[in-house]
Structure formats: structure tokens, C-alpha cells
Amino acid sequence: MRNFFKQTVKSIVTVSCISLLIPYNITAKEPAVEPNFQVLLKSDIEWKPLNPARGDKGPKAGSLWGDFTGSGPSGFLVKFVDGFSSPPHIHNITYRGIVINGLIHNDDPGAADMWMTMGSFWTQPAGEAHITATKGSNSLAYIEIEEGPYLVLPTEKAFDNGERPVNVENSNIVWLDASNITWIDQSEIRPSVNGPKLAFLWGIPQGDHLNGALVKFPTGYSGKIRGKGAIFQAVVIQGQLQYQIPDETGVETLVPGSYFSSKGELGHQFSCDVSDQCIIYVRTKGKFDVIPLE
């Protein structure tokens, strides 16, 4: 993981948001200041068994942020062996998932197969018996929890926490652009069929509320995405981002499964490779800006 410091970013605002910038001074007697910017390449992820009881036949997990084996929220990747199928089980906590690669089925033990493709979104309520299966090589998913630890438990311990699962296949996701999102400043972004698009997945995208969304960029698009609150976390789901490292001349290629984050008002400049459109998942508090570069 590479950590970088960033000065205040000045950029054109396309979405009205509340800014939160916390100034700080570093002196010899003060403790080290935590970086307000991070990027993690998929190639630098450390993998370990998601469920140690299954050994090498079970999925592997790689942390992006937080610690799924401890308390508190976390986000991590899960990769599966080809043809993986779990026995019926439950989890002690609710989780959200997004398919990055391969085909993934997650449903009641007796349900017919419903293979979710790249970019599909699902939730699994705590306590509900289900199975998870994959098809194809290199199946990969992003998993997110709001409290830990993440545990796999037998169905004998099943319970109903009042939540219901959600499975949204990629083809059923509703994408919005600048022409139909009223809180985007129309004077700063030109509505276009080929422009950026956004799909809300969960939460309330305003104020200081946590929420999650997918953002899609066309091939060759260049721009910035700017977080403005205490939390901005992004995972590449599709395509390759040529990512400009703040305050440096270097560029990193972020492939699906890579991660970047920031605190406060800070912009992430990038271009989407011409070979494929780009999709990122964003977990944030309140809204964020999508800013095209001229």
C-alpha cells in the first residue's frame, strides 16, 4: 500500500456537498499525523483463508480497509476456486457484495441458480441460511461489513434479524446521468449519453449519511472524483484507471480489485483506458463530485 499526503485540491464542483477540511500542524512533539490519502494495488494485497476450517478449498480474503476479523467496519476482496460451492451456512453479521469477476450465486439453499455477472450487487442478512457458489476461473467479489468480526456459522444457529436479501443483476441496475440527477450542477457538466453515470445502491446520498453507489465512466474519459467528507472509499470494479498520484508525476494503473481512499476535500484524478469502460464502487458520507477535465 502506498500512502500519500495531499494539499487542498481546488476544482470545479459539479455536485453540491458539505465540505469538511481539518487543518493540522506537525511539530516534533506531536504524534505522527495519519495520512489522509491511500491507494492499494491489487497486486499488493495479502491473501489469507476467509474460513480457515475449509483450508485450501475455501475462498481467500484480502483486506482493502479495516479488519474483517476484528470489530468495526471493513471492506475486503474474496476470491474463489473454480466451481466453489459452500454448504448451507449463516453469518453473524449482514454484508454487502459486488461481483468483480466470474459468476456468483448467493441465495437460499433450495433456490434455483441465479448467476450474477460483473457489477452485480447483493446483500446477505445476518442469521439467514444460504449458500454461495461460483462458476468460472478467477471469480472475485468485493465484500463490505459495517461491524465485525465476519464469521461463518452453522445453520443450526440461524435467526431472523428482520432484514431481507437483495440480489440485483448487472442488467437490472438503473444508471442516472447529469440530465436526471437534480443535485448535479447542470452548468458544470454537460449531459451526454457518453458521459459519467451513477447508480445508487444503498444508504442516503446526502448530509452526513453513509451510502454506496456505482460510478461508470466511458472509455477514454478523463476527470476527477472528489470526496468531501470524513469517508471516501473506492474500489475498481471494471476497466483500468490510469491514476494520477497527487503531488507527483507518476501514474498507477488500477485494475479491478484495486482501492483508493481519502479524508476531507480531496480529488482523485484519473483517465479510463480506451480498451473498456470503467466502473468503480464508492462508499462515502454524503455526496461527492464528478469533475470532467477539459
Cell readout for 116 is 450474477
Residue 39 bridge partners (DSSP): 2, 260
The CB density around residue 61, as the number of other CB atoms within 10 Å, is: 21
Of residues 158, 151, 165, 160, the one with CA closest to residue 123: 165
152-204 confidence digits (pLDDT tens): 999 999 999 999 999 999 999 999 887 776 443 334 445 555 789 999 999 98
Name which of 159, 173, 148 is nearest 67 in CA terms: 148
Q: How confident is the model at residue 90 (pLDDT cuts 50, 70, 90)?
A: very high
Confidence of residue 3 (pLDDT cuts 50, 70, 90): very low
Domains of the chain and CATH, by start? 2-35+174-292 (2.60.120.10), 45-171 (2.60.120.10)
From CA 41, how far away is CA 56, in angstroms rounded?
24
Percentage, residues of the chain above pLDDT 70: 83
Distances in whole angstroms, Cα of residue 292 to Cα of each of 13, 18, 225, 254, 269? 10, 20, 9, 19, 10
More confident residue, 265 or 260: 260
Output the pTM of the full model: 0.85
pLDDT for position 19: 28
The pLDDT-based confidence of 293 (bands split at 50, 70, 90) is: confident
- Of 48-52, 192-196, 231-235, where does mean pLDDT reach its minimum? 192-196
